[in-house]
Amino acid sequence: MTVLNLAQTFSVIHVQGEKTADFLQSQLTNDVRQASNDSLQWQAYCNRQGLVQSIFALWGKQNDFYLLVAKDLVPVTLDLLKKYGVFARIRCEVLSPEIVLQLDAQSEKNLQWKIKAFNAQQLMLVWPSHFTVMPALASDELMLRFQFMQHQFPWLCQKTMDLFRPHDLHLPELSIVNFQKGCYPGQEIIARTHYRGKPKQSFFVYQEAGIKDVQPGQALLEGDQQVGQVVDAVASANTTYMSAVLLLSYAEAKLPKN
């Protein structure tokens, strides 16, 4: 059993008020009405152009919700909540409990994290899923980001916010976008892409030999042509693991077939 200490990776934003559920339902890509108190629901916050600004996990009910947000995205997520929540009279507070994630090895891949215990001092989570053997990595955060890649899950930071739309990041396939829930910022553009669009690019995870100097948000070039953009990269033992949004024509020609 592997246990990750993620107190330096995530913070918790507590959102409450009489209209919290309605407010969050009008802002996020997933159906808040299906959230619960004992498991995490993955959500995305998009701008009006349909570009993803933040990805996080949510739990709670009615007028009391909690958001598990990567520390790098806490400022922008908090600003969005306060900016659009002023008329709903919501209240936001950033909490910093100890956060522990237990990787509970199972046979099937699964993105649903369960809450084992939660209070102001500690959040204990269990992730029942199939896990690839992890390389030697320098921190628990890098181990988590590696597993996100293995689960085809994008890890965003400040350098990659406002760069990609949900379909670029595989979010509909991950059930992070609900197309029946109603309006939210960017919803019309995202729905049009889903029902009428022909994607030219998509989310891919692959590895390259050697330690590559690649950074989130960096353009990937083939000669003078940009063929993609880095989402995240983790390097270990002469191997670089990378997630990127790539042109489909390039990925089909260059990436190894599974």
Residues with Cβ < 8 Å from 227, sequence gap 6 or more? 220, 221, 246, 247, 250
**CATH code of 172's domain:** 3.30.1360.120
Beta-strand pair 122-129/98-105: parallel
> pLDDT-based confidence at 133, cuts 50/70/90?
confident
State the average pLDDT over residues 122-145. Answer: 94
Q: What is the pLDDT of residue 172?
A: 96
126 and 43: one domain? yes
179 and 243: one domain? no
Q: What is the pLDDT of residue 87?
A: 85
Backbone angles phi, psi at 29, to 5 degrees: -80, -20
Q: What is the pLDDT of residue 248?
A: 93
Residue where one domain finishes, among candidates 196, 218, 246: 196
Q: How would you label 124-163 residue by residue, b for 16+ Cβ within 10 Å and e otherwise?
A: bbbbebebeebbebeebbbbbbbbbbbbbbbbbbeebbeb
Beta-strand pair 122-129/114-118: antiparallel
DSSP string, 85-125: HTTTT-EEEEE--EEEEEEEE-SS---PPEEEEE-SSEEEE
The answer on pLDDT for 121 being more than 90 is yes
DSSP string, 152-213: T-----TTTTTS--TTTTTTTTTT---TTS---TTHHHHHHHHHH---SEEEEEEEEES---
106 and 128: one domain? yes
The answer on pLDDT for 115 being more than 80 is yes
The answer on pLDDT for 137 being more than 70 is yes
Q: What pLDDT, in 10s, does the model give residues 29-80?
A: 999 999 999 999 999 999 999 999 999 999 999 899 999 999 999 999 999 9
122 and 206: one domain? no
Residues with Cβ < 8 Å from 58, sequence gap 6 or more? 24, 28, 30, 32, 35, 40, 41, 42, 43, 65, 66, 67, 68
40 and 157: one domain? yes
If one counts the domains in the chain, the total is 2
80 and 147: one domain? yes
Residue where one domain finishes, among candidates 180, 196, 212: 196
The answer on pLDDT for 258 being more than 70 is no
Kindly report which listed range (39-43, 47-51, 121-125, 206-210) carries the lowest average pLDDT score.
206-210
112 and 169: one domain? yes
Residue 209 structural domain: 201-254
* % residues pLDDT > 70 (the chain): 99
State the average pLDDT over residues 165-192. Answer: 95
Q: What is the pTM of this model?
A: 0.95
Q: Which residue has the higher pLDDT, 77 or 196?
A: 77
Q: What pLDDT, in 10s, does the model give residues 86-111?
A: 888 999 999 999 999 999 999 999 99
